[in-house]
Amino acid sequence: MEDGRFSLRATSTIHADVVVCGGGVAGAMAAVAAARAGASVVLVERYGFLGGNATAGAVAQFNSWQTANGRRVVGGLADEVVARLGRYGGAGEHATFVMSTGHRMDRVEYAPEVLKLVLDDMVQEAGVRPLLHASVLDVAVAGRQIEAVHVLTKSGVIALRARVLIDASGDIDALKRAGADFLELDDGEALQPATMMFRFGPIDFARFDALSKAEIAALARRGYDEGRLARAALHSSRDPFSDDGWFNISRLGIDATDAMALGAAEIEGRRQAWAAARYLRECVPGCEGGQLRAFGTQVGVRETRRILGDHVLTSAELLLPEQFPDAIAAGAYPIDIHPAAGGELRYEGLGDDHAYQIPYRSLIPVGFDNALVVGRGVSATHSAHAAIRVMTISMAVGQAAGVAAAIAAKQRAGVRAVPIQALRERLLGDGAKLA
């Protein structure tokens, strides 16, 4: 390194009980939970801040905390995130939200910039060592063990040696490098599209919010038919600090693990967002005085790789709902599939008191003894993933994986040897909901 030339060999090594790759909401919660459970933790993130889709992607609303009739199914660390956002003034209250499909859910709108602070606070207070501006480069494997994760940083390549790896990179890059197996799409399925979120304002919310569902639908349809909106929707959330909204109305049908396609989507996403902002200003009541104020740092990515786990969660199991003895999280978000191009959402609502469970086995990658997957890469079919991918559930699964990894690291017996009842009791004690 000294003479300026770059080596792909690691120049330093860090040891930890648990290494978490990816600092989205799932990874951040996993790191905090593992550290609070007594593990030494390094959290790797390619950006200079945490949050992933929740901050870089500016998604700006945590959806679906409860069943349609109001029974809470997500708590624990996710609740703490909202409470901390509230202390900064960076989140609204839990509020009922009726989707364009008529489905009732509970959501919390938040300021993505404030979420960065909250996640900083939580990882620092828990004693997690964040390694920011670090990208997964390679993974050393010996048989069924992950030996080390090599990350590329400004200081060169660092080797991270841990007893347990949690892959929270969304795209599951670390386990991809390790040679893990992934689920394929079935015939007729396509990856859900990415979206470039954008901030628009000021909005006269008295007039904008007074629009009926039918009026919103008609405006969205007109914008789409005229080729000015890439998606026939005006879906948005309100910034808690201002009269601005974050709009989720672009659509980019790509595989975001394809580098060229991802770069092209950033450019196309900004183009679509600019055109949509113009449509808002010219055609939507309450938006006449607004302008596009910011893009997401990157396109938000809904779906890429899904790991092949010990259990592949299916939509039939969610709809039943199947009761799993190793349930480590619950959810009530419906199956919500955005078409990659054109068309309407495929939306399968759930019954009034319907919640489903996520089994621990869906976090365990086939072929490895010391790795777990959290967030949008969990082992689930395309349609089951379309429900469990949301941030509330991702945080709950992250919390569970963090505790499990801390137990596995302490026992030195691999992730399949984690005593499920002890894990579940610890999670319930920490305020998590498992049904």
Ligand X SMILES: Cc1cc2nc3c(=O)[nH]c(=O)nc-3n(C[C@H](O)[C@H](O)[C@H](O)COP(=O)(O)OP(=O)(O)OC[C@H]3O[C@@H](n4cnc5c(N)ncnc54)[C@H](O)[C@@H]3O)c2cc1C
Binding stretches for ligand X (CB under 6 A): 21-27, 44-47, 52-54, 57, 59, 61-63, 135-136, 168-171, 173, 195, 197, 248, 300-302, 375-376, 389-392, 394
The nearest distance, CB 169 to ligand X, in angstroms, is 4
Measured distance CA(370)–CA(378) in Å, rounded = 15
For ligand X, the closer CB: 103 or 410:
103
Amino acid at 290: G
The nearest distance, CB 69 to ligand X, in angstroms, is 20
For ligand X, the closer CB: 197 or 332:
197
The nearest distance, CB 64 to ligand X, in angstroms, is 7
Establish how many alpha carbons lie within 13 A of residue 254's alpha carbon, considering only the half-sphere containing its beta carbon. Answer: 23
Contacts of 384 (CB under 8 A, 6+ apart): 313, 314, 315, 317, 318, 335
For ligand X, the closer CB: 137 or 415:
137
The nearest distance, CB 262 to ligand X, in angstroms, is 11
Measured distance CA(292)–CA(363) in Å, rounded = 39
Tell me how crowded residue 236 is: count the other CB atoms within 10 A of its CB.
23
Contact between 17 and 145 under an 8 Å Cβ cutoff? The reply is no
For ligand X, the closer CB: 54 or 363:
54
Contacts of 146 (CB under 8 A, 6+ apart): 139, 140, 162, 165, 174, 178, 368, 370, 371
The nearest distance, CB 3 to ligand X, in angstroms, is 27
The nearest distance, CB 18 to ligand X, in angstroms, is 16
For ligand X, the closer CB: 237 or 357:
237
For ligand X, the closer CB: 149 or 423:
149
For ligand X, the closer CB: 44 or 180:
44
The nearest distance, CB 411 to ligand X, in angstroms, is 26
| Residue 340 DSSP one-character state | S
Amino acid at 346: R
The nearest distance, CB 329 to ligand X, in angstroms, is 13
DSSP SS3 for 263: helix
The nearest distance, CB 277 to ligand X, in angstroms, is 16
For ligand X, the closer CB: 19 or 35:
19
Contacts of 125 (CB under 8 A, 6+ apart): none
For ligand X, the closer CB: 25 or 37:
25
Cα dihedral across residues 13, 16, 17, 21: positive or negative: negative
The nearest distance, CB 375 to ligand X, in angstroms, is 2
Q: Look up residue 43 and give its two tokens.
A: 């959290």
Measured distance CA(435)–CA(330) in Å, rounded = 5
What is the DSSP secondary-structure string of 35-77? HHTT--EEEE-SSSSSBGGGTTS---EEE--B-TTS-B---HH
For ligand X, the closer CB: 81 or 284:
81
For ligand X, the closer CB: 258 or 425:
258
DSSP SS3 for 14: strand
Q: Shortest Cβ contact with ligand X: which residue?
A: 375
The nearest distance, CB 425 to ligand X, in angstroms, is 25
Give the 3-state DSSP-derived string for 214-255, with helices as H, strands as E and coil as C: HHHHHHHHHHHHCCCCCCCCCCEEECCCCCCEEECCCCECCC
Measured distance CA(283)–CA(48) in Å, rounded = 38
Neighbouring-strand partners of residue 135: 152
